[in-house]
Structure 1
Amino acid sequence: MTTPDAHRHDTRATHRGSRPAVAAAALAAVLLCTLGNVTAAPAHAAGQVGAGQPVAADCPPALAEKATCYTGQDSNGASYTMAVPDRWNGSLVVHAHGGPGLGDASDPARSTEDLERWAVMVDQGYAWAGSSYRRGGYGARMAAADTESVRRLFADRFGRPERTYLHGQSWGGDVAAKVAETYGRRPGAYDGVLLTSGVLGGGSRGYDYRVDLRAVYQYYCHNHPRPTEPQYPLWQGVRPGSTMTSAGLRSRLQECTGYASEPAERTASQQRNLDDILAVTGIPERTLESHLRFATFTFRDIVTNRLGGRNPWSNRGVRYTGSHDDKALNAGVERFSADPSARRDLSYDSDLTGKVDLPVLTLHAIDDPTAFVEHEAAYRATLRGAGRGGNLVQTFTKEHEHSSLSDSEYANSIVALDAWARTGRKPSPRSLAASCAAFDVTYGEGCFYDPGFRPSSYASRVRPRPGGLAWPAMTAAQERAWSRIDGVGIAP
Structure 2
Amino acid sequence: MPFQRLSVLVAATLLAACAHHQPLSQEAAPQPLPCPSGIGAEIRCLGGRDSAGAYYLIAMPKDWNGHLVMHAHGGPFLGEPTAKRVEEDLQRWSIMPRAGYAWAASSFRQGGVAVRPAAEDTERLRRLFIQHVAPPKLTFLHGQSWGAGVAAKGGEMFTQGKPYDALLLSNGVIGGGTRSYDFRLDLRVVYQYLCGNHPRPDEPQYPLWQGLPEGSKLSSADLAQRSKDCLGLGLPAASRSAEQARKLKTLIDVIRIPESSVQGHLNWATFHFHDIASKRTQGRNVFGNIGAVYRGSADDQALNAGVLRYAADPAAVAQFGADTDPSGKITVPVLMVHGIDDPIAFVELESVFADTMARAGNAGQLVQTFSADSNHSYLSDASYVGLMDALQAWVSQGRKPTPASVAQACQAALTRFPSGCRFQPDYRPQALETRVPTRQRP
Please give the TM-score of this superposition, normalised by the length of structure 1: 0.84
Gaps (5+ residues) in structure 1?
A: 1-41, 472-492
Mapped partners of 1:132, 1:397: distance in 2: 28
Are the counterparts in 1 of residues 119 and 154 from structure 2 also a CA contact under 8 Å? yes
Partner residue of 1:269?
243
Q: Find out whether 1:213 has 2:187 as its counterpart.
A: yes
Question: Secondary structure of the equivalent of 2:257?
Answer: coil
Q: CA deviation at 1:43?
A: 10
Structure 2 residue corresponding to 1:63, chosen from 34, 39, 43: 39
Residue identity matched to 2:48: G
1:321 is displaced (CA, Å) by 1.1
What is the match of residue 10 of structure 1?
none
Aligned 8 A contact 1:43 1:153 in 2: no
Amino acid at match of 1:273: K
Query: How far does residue 386 in structure 1 lie from its aligned partner after superposition?
Result: 0.9
SS in 2 for 1:133: coil
Aligned: 1:279 with 2:253? yes
Measure how far apart 1:263 and its partner are: 2.3
How far apart, in 2, do the equivalents of 1:290 and 1:434 lie?
A: 35
Q: Which of 385, 400, 414 in structure 1 is aligned with 2:374? A: 400
Q: Which amino acid aligns with 2:141?
A: L
More displaced stretch, 257-266 vs 359-368: 257-266
Counterpart of 2:5? none
- Measure how far apart 1:362 and its partner are: 0.6
- Does the alignment pair 1:112 with 2:87? yes
Q: Where does residue 23 of structure 1 map in the other structure?
A: none
Residues 1:154 and 2:132 aligned together: no
Which amino acid letter does the alignment assign opposite residue 180 of structure 1? G
| Counterpart position of 1:420 | 394
Whether contact under 8 Å (2:142, 2:151) holds in the other structure is yes
- Confirm or deny: 8 A CA contact 1:43 1:75 kept in the other structure: no
Aligned residue number for residue 122 of structure 1? 97
- 2:57, 2:237 → 1: CA distance? 44
* Structure 1 residue matching 2:285: 3-state secondary structure: coil
Deviations 1:238-261 (A, max 9, x none): 112111111111110011111222
What whole-Å deviation, never above 9, does each CA across 1:30-70 have from its counterpart, x for those lacking one?
Answer: xxxxxxxxxxxx9954xx423xx211111123334212211
1:165 maps to 140
Q: Which residue of 2 aligns with 1:99?
A: 75
1:440 is aligned, of 385, 395, 414, to 414
Q: Which has the higher contact order (CA 8 A, sep 6+)?
A: 1
Aligned to 2:433: 459
2:149: which partner in 1?
174
Partner of 2:52: 76
Task: Give distance in 2, aligned partners of 1:44 and 1:79.
Answer: 18
Moved more, 432-441 or 61-70: 61-70
Give distance in 2, aligned partners of 1:321 and 1:43. 54
Match runs of 1:2-17 below 5 Å: none
Q: Is the 8 A contact 2:46 2:57 kept in 1?
A: yes
- Kindly indicate whether the alpha-carbon contact (under 8 Å) linking 2:335 and 2:391 is maintained by their aligned counterparts in 1: yes
1:115 aligned partner, one-letter code? L
- Equivalent residue in structure 1 for 2:278, among 262, 286, 304: 304
Residue 49 (structure 1) aligns with: 27
Contact 2:389 2:409 in 1 (8 A): no
Give the match's secondary structure for 1:62: coil
Match of 2:223 among 228, 249, 253: 249
Quick check: 1:338 aligned with 2:279? no
Aligned 8 A contact 2:387 2:409 in 1: no
Is 1:408–1:446's contact at 8 Å kept on the other side of the alignment?
yes
Distance in 1, matches of 2:49 and 2:237, equals 49
3-state SS of paired residue (2:395): helix
Kindly state the Cα deviation for residue 276 of structure 1 after the two structures are TM-superposed: 1.0
SS of the residue 2:336 aligns to: strand
Tell me which amino acid in the other structure corresponds to 2:215: G
Residue number in structure 1 paired with 2:298: 324
* CA RMSD, 1 decimal: 1.3
**Cα distance change of structure 1 residues 329 and 64 upon mapping to structure 2, 3 Å threshold:** same
**What is the aligned-residue identity percentage?**
48
Corresponding residue pairs, total: 421
Provide Cα deviations, 1:174-207, integer angstroms capped at 9, x if missing partner.
Answer: 0001000110x22240100000110001001110
Aligned residue in 2 for 1:132: 107
- The one-letter code of the counterpart of 1:118 is W
What is the CA–CA distance in structure 1 between the aligned matches of 2:188 and 2:223, rounded to whole Å? 12
1:243 counterpart SS class: coil
| Contact 2:280/2:320, CA 8 A, preserved across alignment | no
Q: Secondary structure at the match of 2:160?
A: coil
C-alpha contact (below 8 Å) 1:93/1:164 kept by paired residues: yes
SS of 2:414's equivalent? helix
Matched AA of 1:54? P
- AA matched with 1:440: L
Match of 1:190 among 151, 160, 164: 164
Deviations 1:346-376 (A, max 9, x none): 1000000101001101111100000010111
Decide whether the 8 Å contact of 2:58 with 2:103 is kept in 1.
Answer: yes
Look up the equivalent residue of 1:421 and give its one-letter code.
V
Whether contact under 8 Å (2:382, 2:420) holds in the other structure is yes
Distance 1:169 1:43, change over 3 A: farther
Aligned partner letter, 1:153: L
CA distance in 2, matches of 1:269, 1:123: 50
In structure 2, the partner of 1:87 is 63
- Secondary structure class of the residue paired with 1:82: strand
Task: Tell me which residue corresponds to 2:7.
Answer: none
Normalization by structure 2: what TM-score? Answer: 0.93
